[in-house]
């Protein structure tokens, strides 16, 4: 019963041509970004594929998202490079660690080759971010974004179907 109500609402004349085009375009663009873009930027890699970087810490910035417990941390180095700790990998320990870092501290990092995401972070021989744990968390996040991408493609299909329905109705008139 619920499916029939949903389909009836979807194919009523209430959705305008502009709305159907918007569904199609936005669904295709966001579906592509979530499905393929994030799979490229944060795809799981082998340790040997990561870029090894040794840099001096300058300062950091915390980027807050909707939830108060969801923050990304950007580490700015003295050479002008910026490396990011993904929000899925940030914990209170990471916050405390970055807040306690002194300017000029030597950082040893493994960086994702397709982005500036930090996969491993060592300071004074202490492992702050573990490569395998970060990979696992990024893989989980990629799965969630893949589902979101598929949903966006479904919205694009709904827009395309609605465009076809509008075209058929105009053709019949």
Task: Note the pLDDT tens digit of each residue in 77-100.
Answer: 988 899 988 888 887 788 788 888
pLDDT at residue 153 in the model: 94
Q: Are 13 and 68 part of one and the same domain?
A: no
| Token pair listed for 113 | 């080759």
Q: Are 93 and 32 part of one and the same domain?
A: no
CATH number at residue 103: 2.40.50
Task: Note the pLDDT tens digit of each residue in 115-154.
Answer: 888 999 999 888 888 898 988 888 888 888 888 899 999 9
What are residue 113's phi and psi, to 5 degrees? Answer: -70, -20
Q: Are 20 and 69 part of one and the same domain?
A: no
Task: Note the pLDDT tens digit of each residue in 40-62.
Answer: 777 788 889 999 999 999 888 87
What are residue 16's phi and psi, to 5 degrees? Answer: -80, 170
Q: Are 27 and 69 part of one and the same domain?
A: no
From residue 136, how far is each of 101, 132, 159 by CA, in Å? 26, 6, 35
Range with lowest mean pLDDT among 35-49, 101-115, 154-168: 35-49
pLDDT at 13 over 60: no
Contact 121, 129 (CB under 8 A): yes
Q: Are 68 and 82 part of one and the same domain?
A: yes
Q: Are 125 and 147 part of one and the same domain?
A: no
HEC per residue, 80-148: CCEEEECHHHCCHHHHHHHHHCCCCCEEEEEECCCCCEEEEEEECCEEEECHHHHHHHHHHHHHHHHHH
The domain in which residue 166 lies consists of 2-42+143-172
| Token pair listed for 33 | 């970004």
Q: Are strands 118-123 and 82-85 parallel, antiparallel or unpaired?
A: unpaired
Q: Count of domains in the chain?
A: 2
CA distance 133 to 148: 23
pLDDT at residue 11 in the model: 56
Q: Are 62 and 125 part of one and the same domain?
A: yes
CA distance 4 to 108: 58
| Token pair listed for 49 | 């594929």
Residue 9 binned pLDDT confidence (cut-offs 50, 70, 90): low
Q: Are 94 and 111 part of one and the same domain?
A: yes
Run of H or E residues at 151: helix 131-172
Task: Note the pLDDT tens digit of each residue in 29-43.
Answer: 999 988 887 777 777
pLDDT at 157 over 70: yes
pLDDT at 69 over 60: no
pLDDT at residue 151 in the model: 93
Q: Are 96 and 52 part of one and the same domain?
A: yes
Q: Are 87 and 107 part of one and the same domain?
A: yes
């Amino acid at each position: 019963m619920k499916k029939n109500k949903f389909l009836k609402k979807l194919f009523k004349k209430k959705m305008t041509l502009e709305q159907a085009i918007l569904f199609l375009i936005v669904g295709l663009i966001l579906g592509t970004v979530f499905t393929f873009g994030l799979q490229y930027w944060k795809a799981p890699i082998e340790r040997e594929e990561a870029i090894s970087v040794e840099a001096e810490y300058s300062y950091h910035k915390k980027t807050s998202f909707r939830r108060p417990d969801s923050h990304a941390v950007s580490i700015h180095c003295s050479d002008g490079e910026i490396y990011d700790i993904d929000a899925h990998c940030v914990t209170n320990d990471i916050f405390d660690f970055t807040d306690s870092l002194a300017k000029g501290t030597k950082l040893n990092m493994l960086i994702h080759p397709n982005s500036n995401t930090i996969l491993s972070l060592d300071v004074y021989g202490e492992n702050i971010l573990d490569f395998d744990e970060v990979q696992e968390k990024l893989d989980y996040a990629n799965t969630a974004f893949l589902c979101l991408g598929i949903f966006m493609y479904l919205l694009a299909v709904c827009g395309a179907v609605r465009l076809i329905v509008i075209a058929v109705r105009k053709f019949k008139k």
